[in-house]
């Protein structure tokens, strides 16, 4: 039975030879992302910056301009409206009002009065600034803990060199994804944090597959130069990596196109992250092993001159 292969079986692309080009691109991408984050910042959603979110359903297709004109004169500060999946579904976001919770409730009542009858209110949510700040801290802690746990897992499963390279590649993916949100100003909310954590899991899955093949080849080809061994390992897993990425992207594109506004930010982040994670597994994580002294010459393998052992 023949298996589907998107990449020819005897592929021998020279990934390691061109690693410096990939490292330069990745460095520029990370630095640009950090600069964008510091200069432009993120377009935090209501989850993080606080405010009120109202989801309504109108009778027939919503006239966004008419709804906006009704709400613009209420003096509530920034009020944004957008279609929410269907033409008769509208999401209204109102900035945090000065005062306590009663001030937020009063703003909601003013919106209801301005919109008039014939409106179905599907969801009304209020997030205070204190809760938003706590969610930002929790999101940062979640990402840092995830990277730390991955480092420990890879370290114990392989060697410390593998763990360090995996976390560098994951940090590259996370920073670049956040930079993409800073550039596009797509709303950054809790679902985006979930997408970033999912991207980390997806990326490490690809990286572990390549690392596992590297470990096997270290024991199989004892005298093969490390650069050639790494290149062989990447090429041998390239078909599997490509098929996984393509099938995942097919599902994500469908979610982005047909999933509606609720998960559009999540889907977009995942599409970007899958492409970036595939790139970093091939061009960042594996080539970085060459810089860590993974294997010395002769029949030694691993850090510290460990001798070859049979595969378990």
| pLDDT tens, residue by residue, 151-169 | 888 888 888 888 889 889 9
CA 184 distance to own-chain centroid: 14
What's the rounded mean pLDDT across residues 116-134?
A: 77
pLDDT at residue 250 in the model: 93
Could you give the domains of the chain? 19-43+132-307 (1.20.1640.10), 51-127 (3.30.70.3400)
- How far apart CA 199 and CA 277 sit, in angstroms, is 7
Residue 61 neighbours by CB under 8 Å, 6+ apart: 87, 88
Q: pLDDT digit string (tens) for 23-73?
A: 999 999 999 999 999 999 988 877 777 778 888 888 888 888 888 888 877
Mean pLDDT rounded to a whole number for the chain: 82
Residues 127/130/132/136 CA torsion (nearest 10 deg): -160
Q: Which three-class secondary structure state does DSSP give residue 246?
A: helix
Length of the chain: 312
State mean pLDDT over 182-198.
87
pTM of the predicted model as reported, rounded to 2 decimal places: 0.76
Q: What is the distance between the alpha carbons of residues 277 and 251, in angstroms, rounded to a whole number?
A: 16
């Amino acid at each position: 039975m023949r298996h589907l292969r998107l990449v020819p079986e005897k592929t021998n692309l020279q990934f390691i030879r061109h690693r410096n080009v990939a490292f330069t691109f990745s460095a520029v991408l990370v630095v640009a992302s950090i600069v964008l984050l510091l200069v432009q910042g993120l377009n935090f959603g209501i989850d993080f910056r606080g405010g009120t979110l109202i989801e309504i359903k109108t009778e027939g297709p919503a006239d966004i301009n008419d709804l906006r004109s009704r709400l613009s004169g209420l003096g509530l500060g920034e009020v944004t409206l957008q279609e929410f999946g269907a033409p008769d579904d509208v999401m209204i976001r109102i900035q945090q009002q000065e005062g306590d919770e009663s001030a937020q409730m009063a703003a909601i009542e003013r919106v209801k009065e301005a919109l008039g009858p014939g409106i179905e209110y599907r969801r009304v949510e209020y997030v205070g600034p204190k809760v938003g700040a706590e969610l930002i801290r929790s999101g940062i802690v979640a990402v840092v803990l995830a990277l730390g746990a991955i480092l420990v897992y890879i370290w114990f499963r392989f060697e410390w060199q593998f763990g360090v390279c995996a976390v560098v590649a994951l940090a590259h993916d996370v920073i670049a994804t956040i930079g993409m949100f800073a550039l596009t100003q797509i709303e950054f909310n809790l679902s985006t944090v979930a997408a970033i954590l999912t991207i980390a899991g997806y990326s490490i899955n690809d990286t572990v597959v390549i690392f596992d093949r590297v470990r096997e080849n270290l024991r199989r080809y004892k005298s093969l130069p490390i650069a050639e061994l790494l290149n062989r390992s990447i090429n041998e897993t390239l078909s599997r990596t490509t098929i996984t990425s393509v099938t995942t992207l097919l599902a994500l594109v469908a979610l982005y196109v047909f999933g509606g506004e609720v998960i559009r930010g999540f889907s977009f982040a995942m599409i970007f992250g899958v492409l970036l994670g595939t790139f970093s597994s091939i061009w960042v994580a594996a080539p970085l092993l060459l810089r860590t002294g993974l294997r010395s010459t002769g029949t030694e393998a691993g850090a510290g001159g460990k001798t070859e052992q049979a595969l378990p």
